[in-house]
Amino acid sequence: MVKAIEVYGEMHRYIPFIAKKEGFHKIGEKEVLHHARKYGVTKFGLDRFINGFLDLLTITFVFRFGKKPMHFFGAMGTLMFFLGFLATLWLLGSKLYSIFQHVRAPLVTDQPLFYIALTSMIIGAQLFLTGFVAELVARNSAERNNYRVSERLGL
């Protein structure tokens, strides 16, 4: 198992999770005898909690979307673009309504929703393109079709 999984940084906390995701199902626990600290002070503080949480997000993201990044970035980009498009339609509809009612409507560029819609559409397009580029990178990875089936079956 040690040779099959890749652990870097402070990912040692999640070795059981990584091992399970790599296909090792017989994961056990070994009891150890802990001794009280004789010297020094603990380095365990708030930053360790934050780093641990960020590491958990990282490995969850990598295992869930590592081989298919477009599923994450494409979905987020499409959602952002769609929300910006809906806001644009709302602005356009309110402007046309005011014109047909012969009411002086404010300029579209004077409304904050215009800038929110514009920013949302730009971010959506960027996220979608990020997913597209990440998909190209993942497709050209040397590890793309490395399934380790024979190693797991003992062949």
- Predicted local confidence at residue 90, as pLDDT: 95
Determine which helix (DSSP H) or strand (DSSP E) holds 118, and give its type and residue range: helix 112-139
- Predicted local confidence at residue 142, as pLDDT: 66
3-state secondary structure of 74: helix
- Predicted local confidence at residue 144, as pLDDT: 60
3-state secondary structure of 119: helix
The answer to whether the beta carbons of residues 68 and 138 sit under 8 Å apart is yes
Residue with tokens 């079956």: 153
Give pLDDT < 50 ranges for the chain. Answer: none
Q: How far is 140 from 9, CA to CA, in rounded Å?
A: 25
- Predicted local confidence at residue 93, as pLDDT: 94
Report residue 119 CA to chain centroid gap: 20
pLDDT single digits (tens) 5-50:
777 777 788 888 888 887 888 888 888 898 888 888 887 788 888 8
Domain ranges of the chain: 1-65, 67-143
- Predicted local confidence at residue 14, as pLDDT: 84
Q: How far is 119 from 81, CA to CA, in rounded Å?
A: 9
Q: Is the pTM of this model over 0.75?
A: no
- Predicted local confidence at residue 113, as pLDDT: 94
